[in-house]
Amino acid sequence: MFDKDKKLIFSGIQPTGVFTLGNYIGAVRNWGPLQDEYNCIYCIVDLHAITVKQEPAVLRKNTLGAYALLLACGIDPEKSIAFIQSHNPNHAELSWVLSCSTQFGELSRMTQFKDKSAKHADNINAGLFTYPVLMAADILAYNADLVPIGADQKQHLELARNIAVRFNQKYSETFTVPEPYIPTVGARVMSLQDPEKKMSKSDANPNACVYILDDKDTIIRKFKRAVTDSEAEVVYREGKAGINNLITIYSAVTGKAVAEVEREFEGKGYGDFKLAVGEAVADSLENVRTEYARLIADKAYLEQCYKQGAEQAYSISRRVVSKAYKKVGFIQR
């Protein structure tokens, strides 16, 4: 189904509940348009999810919901490969081989391991330590050329690149060394209540985070309560983190440049601006909400799509994993 002349993009997202507005603007929204320019593989990374404690029934529900959300956000299973990570055993198989080409010191320097260890002190398991290797396997199993990443994933992609180079040097050319694909607009959406922090679904304040399935009234209410400053001037500049964040969001969902946003709200108060941002965000997400409701009600269609995606993903990655197995000296099956 793929065009050999196009570069391949791989991206995965965890099934940790409904995507936030930050997930959407920074990553998911950009995935649909990529399908016409690149060969795209999208994956719900449920294997990564169990590095922290999960309720099995909730994980299953969240995984299916995340898959439906991908399609609702514009991923076309006829253009792209979209599947669930645990449905393709090649990821776990390659992860073991790559872990033997990864140094303990490299993993111990991963900042996310330190952060998650502090957050989940009662469950610092081996998977939490080694999951960057699984992430490398997710990417290298398809010889992906590009990986859409946020600022917090740069270290993991750099590890994947180091592992690929090290393996290639030891066993001869096997893996493509992936490059980052970083969107230039709206890549980092901040909390509405603490605009110095990234928007996160783990935030204890329910008004800090907008979810893409929030209804219009909820979205507008959250934006009306967004933290700003006392200047009452809609301009983007240093020292105005709250307003800068709202301008970034408004710019991202309307396509208007920052200077254009500033002109639009010149002489207007923060109340008018917050309302406009909330309405613009809600309107931009209306089609996603409608499509998600349709898809999640059609379990048979979703199953057909993720089974087809897993078969396609397995076929591509098996060739790569078999090559790696042969390189390290395993007898072929």
Which of the 8 DSSP states describes residue 228?
-
Q: Catalytic residue numbers?
A: 116, 198, 201
Task: Enter the pTM of the model.
Answer: 0.87
pLDDT at 175: 98
Measured CA distances, 11 to 28, 54, 70, 77, 149 (Å):
9, 22, 11, 14, 8
Indicate the CATH number for domain 8-186+299-328. Answer: 3.40.50.620
Edge-to-edge strand ranges of the sheet holding 8-13: 81-84, 39-44, 8-13, 146-148, 179-181
Cβ contact 49:59 at 8 Å:
yes
Q: With a cut of 70, which residues of the chain have pLDDT below it?
A: 150-152, 183-187
Q: Does domain 216-292 have CATH number 1.10.240.10?
A: yes
Distance CA 273, CA 244 (A): 12
Query: In the chain, what are the domain boundaries?
Result: 8-186+299-328, 216-292
Reduced to 3 states, what is the DSSP secondary structure of residue 274?
A: helix
Number of neighbouring beta carbons within 10 Å of residue 94 = 24
Measured CA distances, 152 to 47, 105, 202 (Å):
19, 19, 16
Distance CA 285, CA 74 (A): 12
Q: Residue 202 is encoded by which pair of tokens? A: 């783990």
